[in-house]
Amino acid sequence: MKANKIDRIVKRDGRVVPFDQDKITEAIYRAAASVGGHDRPLSENLSTQVVTMLNECFQPPDIPLVEEIQDMVERVLIENGHVRTAKAFILYRDYRRREREATRSGKRSRLPYKMMYETLVWNLFHECDTVEKLNQIIRSGKFKDLIAAADKAFDDSIDRVARAIRREKDRIRLIIVAGPSSSGKTTTTAKLAQRLNQLGIDTFPLNLDHYFFDLEMHPKDEHGDYDFEAPEALDITLIDQHLRALVEGKTIKMPYYDFKQGKRFDNITEITVRDNQVLLIDSLHGLYEPMTRSIDSKKKFKVYIETISQLRDKNNKFIRWTDIRLLRRMVRDQSQRGYDPVRTIGHWHYVRRSEMKHIIPFIGNADYLLNGALPYELPILKKYAFHFFPDFLKLWKEDPKRSDAYLRAKRIYGLLSEIEQFDDESVIPADSLLREFIGGSKYKLH
């Protein structure tokens, strides 16, 4: 083998740094591992081919750019027949590019690029990255296999969170599961509590729904709808006081909220968290700083869950995460809470307004990010929701005050029209996150 003449490279910011072949090997290995390959010697051999190509293309004092090296990595992978690894590497480069652009803009990114990349690679590996491929899985009779693989992937992510908490259990007194509406917080919290208990960590779940202000304190809009989505709908000051007291081992008297009356009754339930227990809450606004302001940040472990779908429609556009969550909420609200689906979709602008202002901007404050999207859920949700949409479109088409609801309904109707419906929900396990929305969950869901 010829001696390597490349000893320096130029980074994207213009810095000249020492060349390190091991970084090429590691990049190739990570890309291969993301699609199921774990052959370190092969990664080393491929990186050596990249170095050989670099030596053929560059003569001192020329110094290769990092982008040029990455281009050669793609070429070597493709020429050696490692197409899936090459695709994973290309996707990683693209997501990293977008992440850098967000950083250069001076704004904190609201998009979890790393998890978006990992999810897309998982979908590619399981051949469910497009609606057409998902339909093919249903037609081929392999839908149950996809369900099992997706549920295992989610459970594995819960296990990783639990192990991360165990590593820091001596400092943690409060675990927060946060995320936007219908992202799967309740099931995630139940699964996390189960895993932590198996690891010897006793959790104390606390339901913050009892801290809502009385219904009469919330203004109605012109459609008779209330905005329960903003953090101001909750008694944030009292929550902060009570959580701090519990973390310090004190006893509180928790309120009780009667949803039928729309009224809160204070000082109802006496609660104490023992020294060997960890307080566990799930809340839309768990990352909203005033909610836990008085608690030392070192005592908190914050988990954020979002439906990070990387499924593309027939026009090669990624499905909106918020549309998946809206479908989930429609199905759940109708079957479990008796809400008319018209009310749910008409209320969604409140949900989105609060998310954009009070939830999504704080994603970067989480200690751990979870993906609650399930690649198999849309064919199931279609069974429950699709038949409502023609009426939505007729109802709102000529109503300028409902233009937002009409556009959402039209977009989701078009999406569901592409997807093959799957009626046999018996294949969905009782511990699946989807059960939180379609019913039949093994967990106690408040």
Mean pLDDT, range 22-33, rounded to an integer: 85
Alpha-carbon dihedral of residues 431, 355, 396, 390, nearest 10 degrees?
A: -20
pTM for this model (two decimals): 0.78
Amino acid at 440: G
Is 302:365 a contact under the CB 8 Å cutoff? yes
Burial of 2 (0-12, 13-18, 19+ CB in 10 A): exposed
Mean pLDDT, range 188-195, rounded to an integer: 96
Q: Which domains does the chain have, with CATH numbers?
A: 8-107 (no CATH), 123-438 (3.40.50.300)
99 or 239: which carries more pLDDT confidence? 239
pLDDT on residue 171: 94
Helix or strand holding residue 206 (H, E) = strand 202-206
pLDDT on residue 265: 95
Percentage of the chain surpassing pLDDT 70?
92
Q: Which residues pair with 302 in a beta bridge?
A: 176
Mean pLDDT, range 257-265, rounded to an integer: 88
DSSP 92-127: HHHHHHHHHHHHHTTS---S-HHHHHHHHHHHHHTT
pLDDT on residue 125: 87
Exposure string of 60-95, with b = 16+ CB inside 10 Å and e = fewer, is eeeebeeeebbebbbebbeeeebebbbbbbbbbbeb
- What band does 356 get if pLDDT is binned at 50, 70 and 90? confident
Mean pLDDT, range 114-129, rounded to an integer: 89
pLDDT on residue 364: 82
404-430 pLDDT tens trace: 899 999 999 999 999 999 999 999 999
Residue linked to tokens 């803009």: 105
pLDDT on residue 140: 97
Non-local (6+) Cβ contacts of 416 within 8 A are 378, 382, 385, 386, 389
Most confident residue range from 8-12, 121-125, 203-207: 203-207
Instruction: Tell me the HSE value of 113 on the side-chain side, using a 13 A CA sphere.
Output: 15
Question: What average pLDDT is seen over the chain?
Answer: 89
pLDDT on residue 150: 97
115 or 136: which carries more pLDDT confidence? 136
Q: Is the bond preceding residue 61 a cis peptide, omega within 30 degrees?
A: yes
pLDDT on residue 437: 96
Nearest CA to 227 out of 354, 331, 108 is that of 354
Mean pLDDT, range 1-24, rounded to an integer: 81
pLDDT at 271 over 60: yes
Strands of the sheet with 277-283, listed across from one edge: 202-206, 277-283, 174-178, 300-306, 368-371
pLDDT at 1 over 60: no
Phi-psi map region of 203: left, alpha, beta (phi>0 left; psi -120 to 50 alpha) = beta
pLDDT at 224 over 70: no
81 or 15: which carries more pLDDT confidence? 81
Distance CA 30, CA 212 (A): 46
48-94 pLDDT tens trace: 999 998 888 888 778 888 888 888 898 899 889 888 888 878 877 77
pLDDT on residue 220: 60
Mean pLDDT, range 294-311, rounded to an integer: 95
Which 3 state secondary structure label does DSSP give 132?
A: helix
Mean pLDDT, range 155-163, rounded to an integer: 96
